[in-house]
Structure formats: C-alpha cells, structure tokens
Amino acid sequence: MKIAKIIAGMSALSMAAAMAAVPVSAEEAVANSFYPATYDVTYVYSGADIAAVAGDAVVDPTEDALKDKKAQLVGYTNAETGKVDTYNLGFNIQVGHMTNAKLTIEVTSSTNNIYDGTAGTGSGFMYTVQPSWNGNSPKDDEQGWKKYEYEEDGTTQKMAWGACDINNMSTGKGKFNGEWAQITLTDTDVSALTFTVHVDCSESTWEYHPYSADEPQNNNYRVFSMTAGTVKPNNVDTYVEDPEQGFWGIVDIDEINKQIPGGVTSPEAGDSKSDSSSTADSSSTSSNTNSSSSSSSSSNTSSKTSSTTTTTSKTTTTTTTTTTASTASTAASDNTENAASGAAAGVGLAIAALAGAAIVVSRKR
C-alpha cells in the first residue's frame, strides 16, 4: 500500500499522534544513549609506581592484613619446601564509558621474575580468576583454568567461571565494567615490571554526552583505570585525576562525538554548535557482593560516591553481579548514570580488596 493511501485513511487525531512520535530533532544525538565509535589507545604503567601502592609483601595473609590495600603483594609458603617461593600481585582494573572494549594487559620484567608455572620468565599476561563486576563479559560464561592452581591430587587444574588471560579480553556490554586482575611472581621485585595496557574500542559503543562550553573540564570520556585509580599512565598526558576516583585515562570528547551522527562537538572541531547545558541529575543503586550507592551529575570527571563495604575472605573466588542495560539507542542505567563515573568507580573501590588474596598458587606434582 502506498504511503499516500495510508495517510488518506488516517484521522486527524491519529495523524497528530504519529507526528508526536517523531523526534523533535533528528539531527542531534541523545545524551546517555549509546552509539558506535572507534578508538584505540595504549597505556604504560610503571611497576615502581604500583610497588609503592602495594608495599611490602604479606605472607600467608589474614583478612585484616590486606584490608583497604589498593594493590596487594601476597606471598605463599610452599607446603612441600616450607619456603615462600611464589607471590601474587593483584588489584582492580576498570574500563569507562564504552562497551565491548577488547582489553590486553601484558607485563614484562627486566629480571625474569614472572612465574610461568615452573620458573621465572620475562613476560606474561595479567589474568582473571572470577567473573567481571557487571557479570556480562563473554568470558564470564566460560570456565577457565585458575592459573597455576591444582586440585588436591596435584594434577587436575582448578577451574572457575570467568578465569582467563587478559589478552584481547572483551569487557562486555556494560559500561564501567571492572575486574580483579593479578600476575604471579617468583619474588617481590614489582619495580622490575612494566604494565602495557591496550584498549581496543573498534567494536565499542559509547555513552554519549555533548560538548559543554560551561564545563570544559568535563569534555572527555573515561577509558581506563588501573589499581583503583592509584597510579597514572606514564606514557601519555591524556588522563584526569578525580578527587574521589583517582587517575583515569581519557579521550577528548571531540574524538568520540565527531563519529556520532548529531554528536555535539566543540567549535574548534569544526562544528559551530556547542551545548552549555548539562544532563539532568540522576541517581542509581548498584547491587553486588558489596553495597554501593551513588548520586552523580553529568560531570564525567567528578562524582559524589558513598559506599558501604563488607569484606569477606574466602578460599574460593568472590563472584559479583550488577544488573545492566545498554544498547545503541537506549539510555543506560547500569553502574553509573549519565556521563559521570558515579557508582561505577564507587563499585570499583567498594569491591572487596581481598578478592584475589585467597588465590593460592599450588604446585603441580
């Protein structure tokens, strides 16, 4: 049926309703909705900076010994030899305003102290031992080897949901997804390490927010945070320090918004439009192993977060889940609200610091 015939048969009331359903401006992108945009960045972090956060190694730790540490260096006594010969370095990592990023964290050592299952080597990947915070990364639905851990028979590998190398690992369909990451060492020389983080956003969508002439400090998107924001990348200047959430690698707002149809960029990017109004305030509640609540504005470099954390040490990994919803055309309400890091970074800081502390390396017999 031709469109002319359809219109001819419509009442005035139905035509008015149909017209009301058409967006007022089809040219401008909708804040808080998700749109495809590509980006690729590599961050390099100094082992010396992380060593300063981790401090001295804690051997065969109790819960209190590691409480509130943002990076943990944990030593384990070999039951067969009675000596401490392996160490786990672990901390929280988190991606930002994008979905479906591919994340790689490669670690190199100038002293070959990265444990490979039998001895030390010069390189390896950080790895996960449990599902992601949002519980919606593809790897969360797969069982993987809890690296260098064996059952009591000494030969059967221990398996866990979400355990994998962080090597082109998909961060999943929710923004601000986070993870406990760790690497096993043969000694305590964390300063010998270099951490190279590659964030590939070639298949990502981004939570759109327009350029704001009134709030230039917020004209960026957050990309990645290391060690709960306690260390900054030392190879780039594109990072921001949030008073509550620490250091975040960022990308300029124009880099993303110019790829979004109707995205508002700065006049300097060749678009005469600028938006000086911020997105409406909103709040969200995230539910996981820990309790975290947040109220955040449209600022993406600052937020007010309050959280209550209950930490429990277990001999198995801790699984955390957060309900998420994010599509390319629907406003998201997972973990954070609007363009701010909000609850997401709060969740990052609230996740039990002991998440990886009980991951004991066991010997293969």
Burial of 346 (0-12, 13-18, 19+ CB in 10 A): buried
Strand 114-115 to strand 120-121: parallel, antiparallel, or no bridges (unpaired)?
antiparallel
d(CA 292, CA 306): 7
3-state secondary structure of 307: strand
- Its pTM stands at 0.73
For residue 106, which of 197, 191, 187 has the smallest C-alpha distance? 197
> H-type helices in the chain, by residue range?
3-8, 12-20, 47-54, 253-257, 342-350
Q: Which two tokens stand for residue 281?
A: 């305030």
Task: pLDDT tens for the chain, 365 residues: list them.
Answer: 433 333 334 444 443 443 333 343 457 899 999 999 999 999 999 999 999 999 999 998 877 778 888 999 999 988 888 999 899 999 999 999 999 999 999 999 999 999 999 999 999 999 999 999 999 999 999 999 999 988 988 889 999 999 999 999 999 999 999 999 999 999 999 999 999 999 999 999 999 999 999 998 889 999 999 999 999 999 999 999 998 899 999 999 999 999 999 999 998 676 444 443 333 333 233 333 332 323 222 333 332 222 222 222 222 223 232 223 333 333 333 333 333 333 333 333 333 334 444 455 555 55
> H-type helices in 99-149, by residue range?
none
Q: What are phi and psi of 65, to 5 degrees?
A: -65, -25
331: CB partners within 8 A, 6+ apart: 30, 31, 32, 33
Of the CA atoms within 13 Å of residue 220, those in its CB half-sphere come to 20
